[in-house]
Chain A
């Protein structure tokens, strides 16, 4: 093993831990806040049971606007907000703040699109049986769209793995940060190859488990 790699090995473990911490926070925020937002976006949309064109327009615009920011700009622009929430603007927890903010509308859009694929007739049948909106969300939409939602979350996780690498720029830490500091700035090609290899393995693992879970949930 090359001396470069041996030297950064302890840091590599920390970096992997930081990457997973950022992903965990970002994805939790996406599911807990972006999920309900996506459901709302679907239900308020044209032709749906809670159709409200004005409110739908506002939320739709917000989602698009946040999504149109280049991530690195969002990262820098949000520094004061990050300080307010995380108490600091440095480190993986701080980096998770802009990460979460970007993940929420992203996942909301994925949820909305997946719910649109649930056949109208099934929702209508639930209405005909006297189901409330909440019951339709919980017992129809989430059940019928669940495998698509898992695949959406998989796409999100992989996108945000690379976003978390960008977070290294503001001292966020993580595998990407390691790649930039050693592999790029110090021309240590072997470190660069190692970090990229780590990322490849993580992406493959996420996609593999996402596909597996989605397949098991899908009974259609």
Chain B
């Protein structure tokens, strides 16, 4: 019925095998391991030969109970922790193969935010957001000024540009940290428990900002959290870690039989929350129809 379409499909497919995987990977971990030596002489395997792929533009959640190795895994990506074995790729670049100087350059393309915000307390909001641009050394003062204002506008804190972090609320501090992480136009944004120090209200504002940033800039977000509500509200894909391994990985909005096949407690809990939400929706629709 449609010969031209068929011809195009036939021509495209066998010619390039890569075309069958159209979504490029922003981050790829290949059998990555990390263990720590404990004070009592034994060693603790925080991450055990984990392989993981985060598609470009995704909001990817990494959940697990405390000690499951999720924060360590995140920190292996920009080599705040150095893996004992395995390879880490961000985009095309193999992070684990870089020398000290190249690693610094590569880190300029990776934003990171932390549970404790980690802003410079003695610097203004402007200077905090300008920090990465100034150390990268290729931004003129005028460009720095414009870019900082742009990023603060994006997180809705332009009016706080001359404040110091001590004058801001927790949620505002985290949004400044997001602006700082985004200023050098990173490809990926690594988030280490970004809302764990915040109350429910400010958590929502930070999640809104992250979602907005992902949608408008297309930056890939990898977020470590122990809060399932955060995963539900923000993530598209989630991986559950248990004992240093990725126990399972699924789409957050997955429906149908996949939900029943969850193997981890956290995975089942997320499935249950999804079912509740579905039932809630149905009830609301029913109410609306009856009214």
Contact = CB atoms under 8 A, between A and B. Distances in A.
A90 B164 CA distance: 51
B112 A128 contact: yes
A126 to B, nearest CB: 8
A127 B103 CA distance: 10
Contacts of B121: 122, 144, 219-220
A135 B184 CA distance: 17
Contacts of B105: 130
Contacts of A147: 122
B134 A125 contact: no
B135 A130 contact: yes
Interface string A198-220: 00000000000000000001111
B173 to A, nearest CB: 12
A124 B118 contact: yes
A117 to B, nearest CB: 11
Given A119-B116, A129-B135, 18 more contacts: A119-B118, A124-B118, A125-B114, A125-B119, A127-B107, A128-B78, A128-B112, A129-B108, A130-B103, A130-B135, A130-B136, A131-B135, A139-B131, A139-B134, A144-B121, A219-B121, A219-B164, A220-B166
Interface of A: 119, 121-122, 124-132, 135, 139-140, 143-144, 146-147, 217-220
B114 A121 contact: yes
Q: How large is the interface on B (under 10, 10 to 19, 20 to 34, 35 or more residues)?
A: 20 to 34
B110 interface: yes
User: Which of B80, B107, B135 counts the most A-chain CB atoms under 10 A from its CB?
Assistant: B135
Interface in B93-126: 103-108, 110, 112, 114, 116, 118-123
Contacts of B108: 129-130
Interface of B: 78, 80, 103-108, 110, 112, 114, 116, 118-123, 131-132, 134-136, 164, 166, 180, 184, 190
Given A130-B105, A144-B122, A219-B164, A139 B135 contact: yes
Contacts of A218: 122
User: Which of B107, B118, B190 counts the most A-chain CB atoms under 10 A from its CB?
Assistant: B118
B80 A143 contact: no
B104 A130 contact: yes
Contacts of B134: 139
Contacts of A144: 120-122
Given A139-B134, A217-B122, A128 B107 contact: yes
B135 A122 contact: no
A140 B78 contact: no
Contact of B80 (A128, A140, A146): A128
Given A144-B120, A219-B121, A130 B164 contact: no
Contacts of B180: 129
